[in-house]
Structure 1
């Protein structure tokens, strides 16, 4: 059993969902309490109810408590690295919302501190634990698709104008906020690209001036991969997809997420035929929760039951690549 506390929540990300997940996984987590260090209670009053009945603490109280082994850092994105670094310096294992704060130097210090102290460092890329993504990655790793020459990834949705304007807080706007999930998948499958070509822009719809349309191309030795993420696309949620193209076959995961009673499900199509009209083999998952597997994985990492395939070096490399995808070349 892991004694855990949460630092922060937010309006537009996964803080409340992570809290609900650790609350329900009572065989893994004992919740010590939570802290709202960035005036979350005043800024997000409609997000407070799930925390009722649990002790509210200060960050200092959480970090000074030797019984608290781990923290979930779920503040607004701009504060993530700040509090994760504080937690790592206090010797706490960390699950942090993706992708981290805005500055590479701060993220680098976080990774260095976590590695130096042999702390679990987990990030909120929940698609890493999507059942069909796991199945697809296993097929890629075992060579079932042959030589991978392209990955195409979409993550779109319809956000109101105030959320789209809020994206101006981040380099690259929507690419930083949600495109990070797609960059993670491409990087996991293909590694470091030869060239990064960011094409992020503002649609200008509803008077929004922030970059609410994210697009980036990655050039590899044998092909071009891309990530596209749009915040103003009607029907975009059900068009979220991952396509992995190899010399022996193609996997298409679409829809990535279909809401259903009790959770969601995912659909995958595999094609290994040269016949242009071959329909492929379509399968879908049962109903599952979007975050439970990720938080269970975090617990198992903290307890030493498995090694983390997403190493410190991987997370650092991913963050650097994301900044490039956002048009911000690391110094």
Structure 2
């Protein structure tokens, strides 16, 4: 089987180097090169990064967009750049491995997805926890009915950011919630669907960068369930990250830290799924962040080569972004839902 030629558009996303390394080490991929619109960024990476030091740099994006041998491109610009870059890639008729989240402009993102459908190209968002064994196990338990009807989900995914990083993200309404909550919403809407009502508390409590929302909570109401996602930007390291799902027949908790994960706590009212009633600590094989990126890429390749259906349809990618923007104010809640 011939290798798949890929390229990378942008380098300023927090996942950019990891995604580049995944392409460089995947035996099915031939990395054609990277385009970075900022010359200073390109110079810095060529000097400081072993992964970027050995790439071919395109001088103009048309070099990769117009190359018919390049079939897919990783979109790895800043969050403020990514949606425009992704649109260019889709218009060029190429598949996109697009790092999260999908921009601030809901109408623009919808247009890009519609264009991808017209062009017959695949967009896969960079939510790497889809390939995390712990999250996959919880989803399997929920969808099999082992936990019964789910009535609550709690997700905690805080971080610690420098003032410079806060300044960059402060351009986005929602701040740290905009930047990270999509990871948890990707899991929640996969389990529960579209929330009926969204309420968010977006605060600046550190005062370090006043325009940056650094202490945040989103509450997502469903017909018979409620989900809570809390994310802050100043949690002491190492951060405690946790994902909890509660059903009427059982609960499943991905014990912190979930990166790398070590165990799930499963509690059942009655025996099922090969488990006795009661509490169980289920081991989870730990995965590095790079291993998750590698699994993302492997799934992307299988999808664009026709070996599998997408792990998440484009309708899901739209729903995740819609839900995120409802929380950050990019999409107003319908008037009849206002409290």
Whether TM-score is above 0.5 comes out as: yes
> Which of 117, 128, 131 does residue 130 from structure 2 map onto?
128
Q: Is the 8 A contact 1:164 1:208 kept in 2?
A: no
SS of the residue corresponding to residue 70 of structure 1 reads strand
Provide Cα deviations, 1:279-325, integer angstroms capped at 9, x if missing partner: 43231214452311111111111111111141122111221111011
Provide Cα deviations, 1:188-217, integer angstroms capped at 9, x if missing partner: 111111110011111134354410122110
Equivalent residue pairs, number: 320
CA apart distance, 1:330: 5.0
> Which of 85, 88, 95 does residue 86 from structure 1 map onto?
88
Instruction: Establish whether residue 106 from structure 1 lines up as the match of residue 108 from structure 2.
Output: yes
Partners in 2 of 1:114 and 1:233 — Cα distance?
38
CA 1:197–1:205: 2 relative to 1, 3 Å? same
Instruction: Establish whether residue 96 from structure 1 lines up as the match of residue 92 from structure 2.
Output: no
Partners in 2 of 1:233 and 1:54 — Cα distance?
35
Instruction: Establish whether residue 200 from structure 1 lines up as the match of residue 196 from structure 2.
Output: no
Partners in 1 of 2:144 and 2:48 — Cα distance?
43
Aligned to 2:33: 33
Unpaired runs of 5+ in structure 2? 271-277, 334-339
Q: Is the 8 A contact 1:71 1:93 kept in 2?
A: yes
Aligned to 1:60: 62
Partners in 2 of 1:98 and 1:191 — Cα distance?
19
> Which of 71, 74, 77 does residue 72 from structure 1 map onto?
74
Normalising to structure 1: TM-score of the pair? 0.91
Partners in 2 of 1:207 and 1:73 — Cα distance?
28
Provide Cα deviations, 1:136-176, integer angstroms capped at 9, x if missing partner: 11111111111011111111111122222332111211111
> Which of 3, 6, 10 does residue 4 from structure 1 map onto?
6
SS of the residue corresponding to residue 185 of structure 1 reads helix
1:185-264 equivalences in 2 (<5 Å) = 185-206=187-208, 208-235=210-237, 237=239, 239-258=240-259, 264=260
Over the residues paired in the alignment, what is the CA RMSD in angstroms?
2.0
CA apart distance, 1:235: 3.7
Aligned to 1:268: 264
Aligned to 1:162: 164
